Amino acid sequence: MPTLSYAEETNPWLAAAARFDEAACRLNLDDGMRKVLRSPSREITVHIPIMLDDGRLEVFTGYRVQHSVARGPGKGGIRYAPDVTLDEVRALAAWMTWKCAVVNIPFGGAKGGVICDPTILSDSELERITRRYTAELIDFIGPERDVPAPDVNTNERTMAWIMDTYSMHARHTTTAVVTGKPMDLGGSRGRPEATGRGCMLVTLKALRRFGIDPADASVVIQGFGNVGGMAARLMSRAGFKIVAIIEYDGAVYNAKGLDIEALLRHRRETGSILEFSGGEDMDRHEAMFLECDVLIPAATENVITSRNAAKIRARILCEGANGPTTPAADDILQSHGVFVIPDILANAGGVTVSYFEWVQDRQGFFWNEDMVNTRLAEIIESGFDAVVTYGDRHEVNNRIAAYMLALDRVAFAIRLRGIYA
């Protein structure tokens, strides 16, 4: 792999491209197919004029990238953040294509984002942004075209606004246009826990591979939001020993295991995980390098890079976040014998249950939570087995195996369909 500057190393689009290139080379894909798989199908930029609460008129920029619809409608979240970029959205859309293909669900990949700071916007301003953004995309989204979902700084309320706006234009209620909705508007049971549950399921599979009892496994989790917090809660209930939780303002550690429910209550009451009576505070950077059986980065991109990968002392790295490890860091982790469960497999629980929600909305029949969780386990565990088997057969690490499997499946679908001209 060529030497990259740190800015290049942490560029998500370049990271996705580097993994793509290696997988495509090992699959011996011809140049034409590589061009098709590498190129987004559609990139949409919209400029959204919004009247703010104080009467000022402001214009926000939004994106929706549809990377591939070869295997089904586009699928991917919408994020609101001041640092959203087109490169980031491109990369996330491509990752969604590969993620859906890895777990073999009939979606392609898409992603969206609006450049804004939700912390300084009122609820009514966010609603106006959401509805105008949806209206601008009305010809490009839909149950058979592209199905958005929540992401950073968006939630089930945001999805309700999108669903309602789309339905008003369609002149009938269309619940399947988005997933991650409130239960009363066609949401699925098990959806809030799905990504964290998927992380637990693949971790259990990895531990069995190494003959480690979950009760003996020490776990460090970076991020205590929906993914990390839910993974911590579910893994704690399953008998794992969660020794450290890392957040933006610090970390809390207990070698005997943290009481996760008590820690969640403490954060609700104080707004922070720090000064928790059931553990000791420590530096958040140092906590990443604790010796443990499992490390779950479940917060943001680019937390493990060439600058710190050699310090990781986990046996298993389960990527709850999208893109937490750079390509350069992958090489270092592999040389240190770290078993990486890549993001496009590890955090696919969310999109899998989103697929279930879409199916339930379309058939008008809803499942109980046991059925959702049982079917989630079947798909995620099958995906883990497929990736590991692929890696063993081709003598590549899990990351490249996952990309190879995904590219192979998408390329196969394109060949079956042919090229329309």
Q: What residue spans define the domains of the chain?
A: 40-174, 194-346
Strand pairing class (74-81; 57-68): unpaired
Distance CA(341)–CA(380), nearest Å, equals: 12
Residue 201 corresponds to which tokens in the numbers above? 């399921």
Q: Are 414 and 108 in contact (CB under 8 A)?
A: no
In this predicted structure, what is the pLDDT of residue 4?
A: 67
Point out the residues of the chain with pLDDT beneath 50: 1
Which of the following is catalytic: 75, 111, 181, 241?
111
Distance CA(342)–CA(25), nearest Å, equals: 19
Alpha-helix runs per DSSP H in 216-348: 226-237, 260-270, 284-287, 327-335, 343-346
In this predicted structure, what is the pLDDT of residue 3?
A: 63
CA end-to-end distance (rounded Å), the chain: 36
- Which fold, 40-174? Rossmann fold (3.40.50)
- Which fold, 194-346? Rossmann fold (3.40.50)
Residue 255's CB is within 10 A of a number of other CB atoms, namely 12
pTM over 0.75: yes
In this predicted structure, what is the pLDDT of residue 2?
A: 53
Asked if 40-174 and 194-346 have one fold, the answer is yes
| Residue (of 239, 73, 66) closest to 145 by Cα position | 73
311 is catalytic: no
Residue 138's CB is within 10 A of a number of other CB atoms, namely 14
pLDDT digits (tens, 9 = 90+) for 277-298: 999 999 999 999 999 999 999 9
